[in-house]
Structure 1
């Protein structure tokens, strides 16, 4: 879960490293050719020294401005008791609204979220309107100082990412895309190096919605509408307890952006367009 992140709002498209959650000791299943990921999904080439490439926004498509809405489905391993007590880390109304408005979207899901809500994870993963990407197993930070999140050591990064993909597979998500979003958006060269063996493209954003802990959906909508440009990637959340206004904000954002001529696409479409222009 990001918390009013402002320092990442102007990243742009980059494959360069910036100098700028494991859920416990259980072993992750060994990768075996990654058969459950979409081999045809576009990715970026590794950065310098083989570091994980980073995508934050695209160049857009001439004559067809696009924007990708992304939703982080956050849940940590220690939040199980809170979910059992009634706290909701899902947001089915948001997913229903995206379907109603016919808005493609990319969900960056933690493995722990998929374990808590397997039916929803499976339904999102099997809907052609959406794609599911990796947001770690249980939202532990990949750097030492990241909004108070527990720190995941570098030697556990590969296992954590694989564990999340395994959770998607158990939930019935057929083809998660090979993209990864750092918990909290926090990363450095060491994190990019540790993540590299997973073979994923890291995905950041250029527009912060501000929906985390927000109480005013109009303010969230204004922040998105003021920030979006051709090729933008918007970060939002699919966790009802921590982002309760997101669904209402989306209902305001979508028609206004369509009025401005924007087309909604998935992150894979943005990356594909970026590759075509390179």
Structure 2
């Protein structure tokens, strides 16, 4: 088996998930990318399951990974895609992005919300079983962890893990060959190991809560800016001109990313500059790699994500109202209507 420029990292083996899902089931379907808001099916309580035990992080001063310093000559970057879903919506799945990554054999990390994983069960299972990809924690319902505290804060982190474990545990039921699904489950990590804060916003309490959950917080040093509609060349220049070895690049694939058309040009230009693609975990596992750490979360400069605090407080009111309405209609603990 060939070895690429990561010391000791083998090139991706054939995708075993293709034995579990037909090619047509893996490909994108029209309309999947749409975000549906305010519909009853958007309400979904978290799974009621006991989390499997895992050690917490012991650091006294928890820091955030922005990027990774790599040894000279190693030109790797991590493409990351957020799959977030808020309480009153069913977010999209931009399958054209995933199809492109698979076609080009590009490794990537997906930071998935717990509710998103449950409302897109097949897609979540396809991502977590694909050896090109890793799935990481992006909270349960994309609430701003700078403004919620206590149990609500911890539930946002841990309910995403519950969703991940639920999705993983059901692989045997979802695969066309149950015995293959069970075998695939053994290849999927039992836990998620990485975490990304909604809105890119955090504070000391939320950083500590993430570490206590045994997770490593990861931001980015290059944002594509893809939630804002723009011409493809704008995203290309924003990403390519700011990328350096060890960069962690932010995109969205939940129906809110507008850089799908630009992605092929971004990948082509980065490859022309000598870059190869890795998951975030790949970057961290390169021999001699050193994570670039910060004390807090930000997009491009300190404090810039604090601007979401007011909006997030308004959203919390709307979220609580929607949840109470749905609970009142169905009864406590009942799941979404189908």
- Shorter chain as normaliser: what TM range? 0.7 to 0.9
Q: Which residue of 2 aligns with 1:165?
A: 161
Aligned counterpart in structure 2 of residue 194 of structure 1, from 194, 197, 209 = 209
8 Å Cα contact 2:71-2:289 kept in structure 1? no
8 Å Cα contact 1:143-1:187 kept in structure 2? yes
Determine helix, strand or coil for the equivalent of 1:56. strand
Task: Give the whole-Å Cα distance in 2 for the aligned partners of 1:71 and 1:25.
Answer: 24
Task: Give the whole-Å Cα distance in 2 for the aligned partners of 1:71 and 1:228.
Answer: 16
Runs (4+) off by over 4 Å? 23-28, 274-278
Aligned counterpart in structure 2 of residue 247 of structure 1, from 239, 260, 265 = 260
Match runs of 1:1-278 below 5 Å? 29-34=49-54, 46-47=58-59, 49=60, 51-79=61-89, 83=90, 89-144=92-147, 152-172=148-168, 174-175=188-189, 176-240=191-255, 242-243=256-257, 245-273=258-286, 276-277=289-290
How well do the aligned residues superpose, as a CA RMSD in angstroms?
2.4
Q: Which residue of 2 aligns with 1:10?
A: none
TM-score (norm 2): 0.63
Task: Give the whole-Å Cα distance in 2 for the aligned partners of 1:259 and 1:179.
Answer: 29
Structure 1 pair 61/247, CA: closer, same or farther in 2 (3 Å)?
farther
Task: Give the whole-Å Cα distance in 2 for the aligned partners of 1:25 and 1:129.
Answer: 30
Determine helix, strand or coil for the equivalent of 1:128. coil
8 Å Cα contact 1:211-1:237 kept in structure 2? yes
TM-score (norm 1): 0.76
Matched pairs, number: 230
Structure 1, unmatched stretches of 5+, are 1-22, 145-151
**Structure 1 residue 193: Cα displacement:** 1.9
8 Å Cα contact 1:133-1:178 kept in structure 2? yes
Structure 1 pair 46/127, CA: closer, same or farther in 2 (3 Å)?
same
8 Å Cα contact 1:142-1:191 kept in structure 2? yes
Structure 2, unmatched stretches of 5+, are 1-42, 172-187, 292-338
